[in-house]
Chains A and B, each alone.
Chain A
């Protein structure tokens, strides 16, 4: 089946620094990728929708200057958390839409971010 890879799976960074998370679709070209945030025992919270070659569409309440999203190719989207603070610590998950499989959406394995 389709595979979406996310890297790193875990990252610890110091407060004030920036961290980049990569999301790759390994066996299909994803015109659209989505970034989610998930708190413990909570559902997925959509942060932004990323379309290849264009600016990301952010959900209400998500700071676009803090969560920078780049979708430079059909197989790669990146999320950069800038000037991270402890409250940014969370589980970040990307997903990608496969247009050749009925627009099915596949998820990455997720990335645990801890800001200390």
Chain B
């Protein structure tokens, strides 16, 4: 079993839909949780960064962490075609900062 599991998709939604992207993990030592967006042939761009459990909102994006279930989510409201990209979850331990990445979910938002 991989430390971080993420469905590769693709996930196809119509413009304006609410998108839910998820990752599960097995290592209870993870404390820091991140979501990155990667457009084709580009480096990943940090979207959200959270510590421990709870919710964090930034514009159309909301990140949720449920450490009891070892489950994290990224919600995108009012999705746009420009949101079409691969979304990578990442997480790291408190004392070590090498992040472990999911394989990424490909999101397609069609007009």
Chain B residues lying within 8 Å of A109, measured Cβ to Cβ, are 42-43
Interface of chain A, main secondary structure: strand
Contact B98–A34 (Cβ < 8 Å): yes
Residues 56-87 of A contacting B (Cβ, < 8 Å): none
Contact (A46, B51) CB under 8 Å given A104-B46, A107-B45, A107-B46: no
Which chain B residues have a beta carbon within 8 Å of chain A's beta carbons? 8, 32, 34, 36, 41-46, 49, 51, 88, 90, 97-99, 101-104, 106
- Chain A residues within CB distance 8 Å of chain B: 1, 4, 6, 32, 34, 41-44, 46, 49, 91, 93, 97, 102-110, 112
- A43 pairs with B41, CB closer than 8 A: no
In the complex the two chains form, is A105's CB within 8 Å of B34's CB?
yes
In this complex, the member of A49, A105, A112 whose beta carbon has the largest number of chain B beta carbons within 10 angstroms is A105
With contacts A6-B43, A110-B42, A110-B43 taken as known, whether A104 is within 8 angstroms of B103 at the C-beta atoms is no
Closest Cβ–Cβ distance, residue B12 to chain A (whole Å):
16
